[in-house]
Amino acid sequence: MKTFCVLVALAFLAGCSQNPKAESPAAKAEPSEPLKATVWTRSGELYLEYPALVRGQKERFAIHLTRLTDFKAVKDAACEVHLGDEAFPCDPSTHPGIFGANVEPKNPGQAPLSIAVHGKDLNETFDVGPVKIAPDAASAEKPAEAKEETITFTKEQQWALDFGTELAQEQGLRDSLRVAAETLPRTGGEAIVTAPVSGRLVVERSYPVGATIEIGTVLASIAPPLGTTTDLASLQLAETEAKVSFEQAQRDRARAERLLAAGAVPTRRAEEARTAEATAQARWQAAQTRLAQFDATRSGEGKDLGVRRFVLRAPISGVLAESNAVNGTNTEAGKPLFRLVDANSIFVSGVVPESEFSKLRTLSGAEIETPDGQIRPAGRLVAIGRLVDEQTRTVPVTYEVDNRDRRLAINQTVFLRLFLTPVGKAPVVPEAAIIDDAGRPVVFVQRGGETFLRRPVKFGIRNHGMVQVVEGVNVGERVVTKGAYLIRLSTMSSAVPAHGHVH
């Protein structure tokens, strides 16, 4: 019995070994390369992978959606595939940015394909264009062969990294010359107020340096000395003598008026007495004032001394740049007391190296760049220097600038960008798109959702962070402005993940 069982088992194994299906499972057919399409709109990007369409066969569409506002995956949205008159809803997304849909076309031929997206993240309809629906698998559409060597950088990589693109646009950039400059008071925009006479300063209201002063504002006044005597005893003697003279003149005037009333003297005699009295009174008052001024100076008081003062007024409107006036102190004639600067209209003067002087013949405008990167127009050209500074070997170029917003300070260091004759229009890209690849400047052009081209470029003019591309980029091509260096690294590192998706 045992021998019979062994023979049966051997026969069974022999029969199995002769069965081709038992030797190895049937080899699965390798999936064909999918068709691909990329569509950009103003706010979104669609990257679509789908098999060749055959009538009556259900195919799986892989849809990748990106927001162009930040180049991140679309999360909160739903989509629908429209193929001719047929509509196929997308499955709920299980991974950010990736949606799937089962599409089973009913009729062969050409049909327009579009993807409608609705949600908080994105509201767009992407028109893919006409696609072919084959009547059988043998006549199904084949993917087009790539004509250029491309670089693959998957959507998952793009979404996870700091990535971004921009369209190369045609602009007419102007050649420019960036030179160091400084802000200066304009001609007639600076005034120095000096003391017209020697005397004692009276400052009734002090203005801090930096204050805005209107034209005609009283800045200070000067009480001039009424004599040269500085001895107290002499001043007291002069005051006493003047008082005695005044009292004697009063008595003479009273006597003359009595005699005139009696008819003993002519009228002229009384008038002379009155004049002498008035003169003596004025001399006494002057002596009193000199004595009071001496006492005030000795005590350090800056009060009004009852004399006529020279009033100093602001000759222009502007900012108070300097103030050397102290109330109660003595000043000398010609001493500078105040400096006013008009900050509403100023000069910006740049220095151009003599080697670049010939370019100024085509000067067509300018703009000012502050150290913090702010840009503003330079205004009216005032002068182009014609003398080279012997020390710096430079030529000045001066513009008048409207500075009523006070964004520029006097004597501030800035940069002046001088624009030369405009050149013809050409594609321009942001400077951030340019990277150094083994000593040669290149940009990466996005050909499709996950395919990029490495383009060596030749540059022209640089201006405002934009670079003119003379050779290597065409208008309308999408260049990588963020993450270009990472794409370059992906071509060099074997550690970069291989192309693939979770669909």
Of the candidates 418, 443, 430, 264, the one whose C-alpha atom is nearest the C-alpha of residue 352 is: 418
User: CA–CA separation, 215 vs 437, rounded Å?
Assistant: 62
CA 343 to chain centre: 21
Non-local (6+) Cβ contacts of 451 within 8 A are 150, 151, 152
How high is the pLDDT of residue 40?
96
**What is the pLDDT averaged over residues 70-85?**
95
Of the candidates 65, 119, 45, 57, the one whose C-alpha atom is nearest the C-alpha of residue 83 is: 57
More confident residue, 226 or 51: 51
Secondary structure of residue 295 in the 3-state scheme: helix
Q: 236: number of CA atoms within 13 Å, CB side?
A: 4
User: CA–CA separation, 155 vs 71, rounded Å?
Assistant: 10
- Per-residue pLDDT tens digits for 138-148: 888 888 777 78
Burial of 99 (0-12, 13-18, 19+ CB in 10 A): buried
Q: Cβ(220)–Cβ(337) under 8 Å?
A: yes
**What is the pLDDT averaged over residues 74-85?**
94
Looking at residue 356, what DSSP letter applies? Answer: G
Q: Cβ(396)–Cβ(366) under 8 Å?
A: no
* Local confidence band at 299 (pLDDT 50, 70, 90 cut-offs): low
User: CA–CA separation, 206 vs 488, rounded Å?
Assistant: 66
Which CATH architecture describes the domain 35-145? Sandwich (2.60)
Q: Cβ(194)–Cβ(280) under 8 Å?
A: no
Q: How many CB atoms lie within 10 A of CB 144?
A: 8
Cross-strand pairs, 459: 469
* Local confidence band at 451 (pLDDT 50, 70, 90 cut-offs): very high
Q: Cβ(447)–Cβ(44) under 8 Å?
A: no
For residue 55 the two structure tokens come to 């009538």
- Please determine, looking at this structure, whether the domain spanning 190-224+309-341 carries the CATH number 3.40.50.1980: no
- Per-residue pLDDT tens digits for 33-75: 899 999 999 999 999 999 999 999 999 999 999 999 999 999 9
More confident residue, 123 or 13: 123
- Per-residue pLDDT tens digits for 368-417: 999 888 889 998 999 999 999 999 999 999 999 999 988 899 999 999 99
Assess whether the region 176-186+343-422 and the region 190-224+309-341 belong to the same CATH fold: no
Which CATH architecture describes the domain 232-299? Orthogonal Bundle (1.10)
* Domain locations along the chain: 35-145, 176-186+343-422, 190-224+309-341, 232-299
User: CA–CA separation, 103 vs 86, rounded Å?
Assistant: 9
User: CA–CA separation, 381 vs 337, rounded Å?
Assistant: 33
User: CA–CA separation, 155 vs 449, rounded Å?
Assistant: 7
More confident residue, 127 or 210: 127
User: CA–CA separation, 204 vs 201, rounded Å?
Assistant: 10
Q: Which CATH superfamily is domain 176-186+343-422 in?
A: Efflux pump adaptor protein, beta barrel domain (2.40.30.170)
How high is the pLDDT of residue 13?
36
The region of weakest confidence among 27-31, 151-155, 404-408, 411-415 is 27-31
**What is the pLDDT averaged over residues 319-329?**
91
Non-local (6+) Cβ contacts of 198 within 8 A are 222, 224, 225, 330, 331, 332, 333
> Model-level pTM?
0.57
Q: What is the mean pLDDT of the chain?
A: 85
Non-local (6+) Cβ contacts of 305 within 8 A are 200, 223, 289, 292, 293, 296
Of the candidates 200, 188, 455, 445, the one whose C-alpha atom is nearest the C-alpha of residue 305 is: 200
Pairing mode of beta strands 53-54, 124-134: parallel
**What is the pLDDT averaged over residues 157-166?**
95
User: CA–CA separation, 451 vs 35, rounded Å?
Assistant: 13
Q: What percent of the chain has pLDDT over 70?
A: 86
